Amino acid sequence: MVGARGTVGYIALEVFCRSFGGISHKSDVYSYGMMVLEMAGSRKNIDVSVDLTSEIYFPHWIYKHLELNEELGLLGLLNEGDEDNARKMIIVSLWCIQTDPSNRPSMSRVVEMLEGSLESLQIPPKPYLSSPSRSPIGSSTVMVSMQYDSVY
C-alpha cells in the first residue's frame, strides 16, 4: 500500500495487504497488542538472533508455551501475582494480534479483559501469517512473506 507508514512487527497485516481486511480501529488494536506483548514478555516480537527458527516470531513461541501451560521464562517477576498479571497481558495481547481484524477485541473490551481475572480469559486461536483468498472461486491461500533485517 502506497503511503502506509509504521514499524515492521507493529503494523497490522491489513495495512499493507487488503486480503486481510480493511484498515480500521482494529489496526491500532493490533499495534497495541504487539507493544504489550513485548512489554510483558520482555522480548522483541521478532528475534533474528535465536538459533531455532521456531523461536524467531515471539507470538508463536509464547502461544505454544501458553497452550502447553509451560513456563514462560518471564524476567523480573517478583511473585505469583506478577506472573498472573503478565500471563493476562500476554493472553489479551494474543487476542489483539489476531490476523483477522474482526477477531480482535475493541479497546474497551481490552480494558475489560485486563481488569478481569486471568481465569476468565480463553487462549485465542493461534495467529497465522496467511489469509483465505477473497476470491469466490477455489480455496487458495494468499501467503505474506516478510523479511526482517537486524539493525544491530
Q: What's the fold here for domain 24-122?
A: Transferase(Phosphotransferase); domain 1 (1.10.510)
Contact between residue 94 and residue 127 where contact means Cβ atoms under 8 Å apart: yes
pLDDT of residue 135: 36
pLDDT per residue over 99-129, tens digit each? 889 999 999 999 999 999 999 999 898 766 5
What SS3 class is residue 143? strand
Q: What sign for the dihedral angle of Cα 31, 36, 37, 41?
A: positive
In the chain, domain spans = 24-122
| DSSP track, 57-118 | BHHHHHHHHHHTT-----TT--SHHHHHHHHHHHHHHHHHT-SSGGGSPPHHHHHHHHHS-G
Question: For residue 25, what pLDDT band results from cuts at 50, 70 and 90?
Answer: confident
For the stretch 56-82, pLDDT in tens is 566 777 777 777 666 666 655 557 777
Among the residue ranges 6-10, 54-58, 134-138, the one predicted with the least confidence is 134-138
